[in-house]
Amino acid sequence: MNIHAMRAIYRFEMARTWRTAMQSIIAPVISTSLYFVVFGSAIGSRISQVGGISYGSFIVPGLVMLSLLSQSISNASFGIYFPRFTGTIYELLSAPVSYVEIAISYVGAAATKSIILGLIILATAALFVPLQILHPFWMILFLVLTAVTFSLFGFIIGIWADGFEKLQLVPLLIITPLTFLGGSFYSVDMLPPFWRIVTLFNPIVYLVSGFRWSFYGLADVHVGVSLGMTVVFLAVLMAAVAWIFKTGYRLKT
């Protein structure tokens, strides 16, 4: 395995984050803080507690997931799309670096950025409401798995997109609505029976539920199911990336 090449790609992507810290870190933190203030004030005044947890504390895991999903996709999609846009992707493909090493470098950098951002948002939320993490190992595991999974998803979007508009198409029209409807700001048990069943077809529910369980021991679905769904989604995306590099889809044309 070409460790030097992987490290070079990884460090280049991470350096781009620090050069654009306002866009990559500060803006998402401010945006998430505004979500927290608005939803915590507007809805928190009507819903004092959910499952014995204050509403402000209850929505923190959902807010972290909202930011983690969007930033993982954005970081990974732009990271691979920009070399395609400038044409430098051909130099990378002709270098002595395997497709696996390329994917690991870009996805690893995007996931690292998202994890750092998620931890910063957690620290920021702790300034507003009391937080407790009952299962820190599982919290880190869900955080890492989610970041890697959606960085892979963003990597695929970056290869599929043929314009900057398409980079935002899937996150804005699909991921963000699914996140809002996935129990980020409410418990699925609060819904009528019919909509509770419909909501379970939303894959984001399992991510948010498992992540919230690691904080408070509360879950809309069993934590084992949440973990299993995350791993399945990760495996499917890994297979999709392998197929893309094997066939050269949108890479060789």
The answer to whether 142 and 211 are in contact (CB under 8 A) is yes
In a domain, 253, yes or no: no
In a domain, 141, yes or no: yes
In DSSP terms, 49 is beta-bridged to: 54
Domain region containing 108:
3-247
pTM of the model: 0.90
Residue closest to 241 by CA, chosen among 155, 166, 171, 162: 155
Could you report the per-residue pLDDT of 65-118, keeping only the tens digit for each?
A: 988 998 899 889 988 888 888 877 778 878 788 888 888 999 999 999 999 999
Is the per-residue pLDDT at 40 higher than 70?
no
More confident residue, 120 or 127: 120
Whole-number pLDDT of residue 253: 59
Whole-number pLDDT of residue 215: 95
Whole-number pLDDT of residue 209: 94
Whole-number pLDDT of residue 45: 62
More confident residue, 210 or 251: 210
pLDDT band at 246 (very low <50, low <70, confident <90, very high): confident
Whole-number pLDDT of residue 84: 82
The answer to whether 220 and 205 are in contact (CB under 8 A) is yes
In a domain, 9, yes or no: yes
Is the per-residue pLDDT at 36 higher than 90?
no
Give the side-chain half-sphere CA count within 13 A for 33: 15
Q: How many domains are there within the chain? A: 1
More confident residue, 19 or 58: 58
The answer to whether 207 and 231 are in contact (CB under 8 A) is no
In a domain, 192, yes or no: yes
In a domain, 129, yes or no: yes
In a domain, 252, yes or no: no
In a domain, 104, yes or no: yes
Region 241-248: what's the mean pLDDT? 85
**Span of 32-41, 193-202, 230-239 with lowest mean pLDDT:** 32-41
> How distant is the alpha carbon of residue 120 from its chain centre?
14
pLDDT band at 224 (very low <50, low <70, confident <90, very high): very high
CA distances from 167 to 20, 31, 79, 138, 148 (A): 18, 20, 11, 31, 18
CA distances from 89 to 82, 130, 252 (A): 9, 46, 9
In a domain, 160, yes or no: yes
Could you report the per-residue pLDDT of 162-185, keeping only the tens digit for each?
A: 888 888 888 888 888 898 888 888
Average pLDDT, the chain: 86
